[in-house]
């Protein structure tokens, strides 16, 4: 039975990427050595790292614009800390739109004054706050572009006179944006880019080196840049698979091409949620994520029937997060439209049975 993988992360990867990655585990570059056992200092892997960084800048249209690319470890959660260590001198502003931004605020508060410029916590994060002010004397403003748990996504980013930092862990490379608006972007790989184990950081170099505190070497963006993401042994396999995924995306036609596919999936999914009286969407309509559609059954008595239908059709990873309950269809770049069609057909069939 074909599986339809709606897992929120680690999530679906392109089949051709998985095939190439599996071959590299056994025999990388036809050298009769595994990718997992070659030196990270060897030319074959240095080439991988350099190519991956180049692809990031190319796909985000940031080449020659003063940005540096890092592949680090520790997940996006470590970036909650690193951002504050490297950029926070006195105070900073955060937009609180979900669990991950809430955790980012908690970590940053260890160092200095952190202010929530706005929050949607009062409605269990089912919308994106708007109309807030960002003081010009803050060191930076931090936001989370897509909220995986709650299914919301920022559609229009604020204009900032201070550095704009964004956690794009769950929608990086999924839609066209003017990425020059952002001074620092970070993203865990395991949604749209690769397996768990590496975190992408894209930072405008001229915002660094302005804090007075001492920064531990491994947490210092400037040192990591000077060492080309190899201050310590990098996550070799995760970086390699990320490189393959970025190549796959480039060959498809880049972000512009994948955005069209993502829009088709989201339109199909949300149309069924809105038209089918058995289901109700969780997120505010104007703030719905194209990556994570969150929804609930109106009548929980149908849960067992619906779950069985999904399981028998090969649908995986549809359960919602405990904070929201219900269901969450994660429609990352590598998820084919066919999988969404299968899910929508099951939802429609449930309506005829109810």
Q: Taking the model in full, what pTM does it have?
A: 0.97
Domain range enclosing 290: 254-353
Amino acid 290: pLDDT: 98
pLDDT (0 to 100) of residue 354? 77
Q: Is residue 82 part of a domain?
A: yes
Minimal CA–CA distance to 8: which of 147, 185, 143, 155?
147
Instruction: Please indicate, yes or no, whether residues 338 and 285 belong to a single structural domain of this protein.
Output: yes
**Nearest in space to 133 (alpha carbons), one of 91, 99, 161, 102:** 161
Whether 167 is catalytic is yes
State how far the Cα of 27 lies from the Cα of 8, in Å rounded to an integer.
31
Closest CA to 340 of 254, 280, 271, 274: 271
Q: 167, 171, 183, 287: which one is catalytic?
A: 167
Q: Which residues of the chain have pLDDT under 70?
A: none
pLDDT of amino acid 111: 84
Residue 191 bears catalytic tag: yes
Specify the pLDDT at position 1. 75
Catalytic residue among 100, 139, 265, 287: 100
- Do 108 and 184 have their domain in common? yes
Cα separations in angstroms, 143 against 44, 126, 215: 37, 16, 23
So what's the pLDDT on residue 252? 98
Q: Are 6 and 335 in contact (CB under 8 A)?
A: yes
Q: What CATH number is given to the structural domain containing 239? A: 3.40.640.10
Minimal CA–CA distance to 242: which of 35, 86, 92?
Answer: 35
| Domain end residue (candidates: 220, 252, 284) | 252
CA 258 – CA 325 distance, rounded (Å): 29
- Note whether residue 81 is domain-resident: yes
Please tell me the predicted confidence (pLDDT) of residue 349: 97
Residue 53 sits in the same domain as residue 160: yes
pLDDT value of residue 2? 86
Domain final position from 252, 272, 294:
252
Catalytic residue check, 47:
no
235 plus 316 within the same structural domain: no
Which candidate in 139, 183, 191, 287 is catalytic? 191
pLDDT, tens only, 282-329 = 999 999 999 999 999 999 999 999 999 999 999 999 999 998 999 999
Q: For position 232, what pLDDT does the model report?
A: 94
Q: What is the pLDDT of residues 16-31, one digit of tens each?
A: 999 999 999 999 999 9
For residue 289, how many C-alpha atoms fall within 13 Å in the half-sphere facing its CB? 34
Residue with the two structure tokens 């089912």: 126
Of 252, 283, 308, the domain-final residue = 252
CA distance 119 to 190: 26
- pLDDT value of position 171: 98
């Amino acid at each position: 039975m074909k599986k339809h993988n709606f897992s929120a992360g680690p999530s679906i990867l392109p089949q051709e990427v998985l095939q190439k990655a599996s071959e590299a585990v056994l025999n990388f570059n036809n050298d009769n050595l595994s990718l997992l056992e070659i030196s990270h200092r060897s030319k074959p892997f240095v080439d991988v790292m350099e190519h991956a960084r180049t692809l990031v800048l190319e796909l985000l249209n940031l080449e020659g614009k003063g940005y540096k690319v890092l592949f680090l470890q520790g997940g996006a959660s470590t970036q909650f800390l690193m951002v504050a260590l490297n950029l926070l001198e006195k105070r900073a502003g955060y937009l609180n739109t979900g669990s991950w931004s809430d955790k980012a605020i908690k970590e940053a508060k260890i160092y200095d004054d952190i202010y929530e410029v706005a929050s949607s916590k009062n409605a269990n994060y089912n919308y994106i706050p708007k109309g807030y002010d960002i003081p010009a004397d803050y060191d930076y403003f931090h936001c989370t572009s897509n909220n995986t748990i709650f299914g919301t996504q920022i559609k229009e980013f604020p204009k900032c006179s201070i550095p704009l930092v964004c956690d794009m862990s769950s929608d990086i490379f999924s839609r066209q944006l003017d990425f020059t608006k952002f001074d620092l972007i970070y993203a865990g790989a395991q949604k749209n880019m690769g397996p768990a184990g590496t975190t992408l950081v894209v930072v405008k170099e001229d915002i660094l080196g302005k804090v007075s505190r001492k920064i531990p070497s491994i947490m210092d963006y400037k040192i990591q840049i000077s060492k080309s993401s190899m201050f310590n042994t990098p996550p070799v396999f995760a970086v390699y698979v990320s490189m393959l995924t970025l190549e796959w995306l480039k060959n498809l036609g880049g972000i512009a091409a994948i955005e069209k596919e993502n829009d088709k999936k989201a339109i199909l999914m949300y149309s069924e949620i809105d038209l089918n009286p058995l289901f109700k969407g969780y997120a505010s309509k104007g703030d719905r994520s194209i990556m994570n559609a969150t929804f609930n059954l109106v009548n929980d008595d149908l849960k067992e029937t619906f779950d069985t239908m999904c399981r028998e059709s090969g649908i995986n990873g549809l359960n919602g997060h405990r904070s929201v309950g219900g269901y969450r269809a994660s429609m990352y770049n590598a998820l084919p439209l066919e999988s969404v069609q299968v899910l929508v057909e099951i939802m429609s069939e449930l309506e005829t049975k109810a």
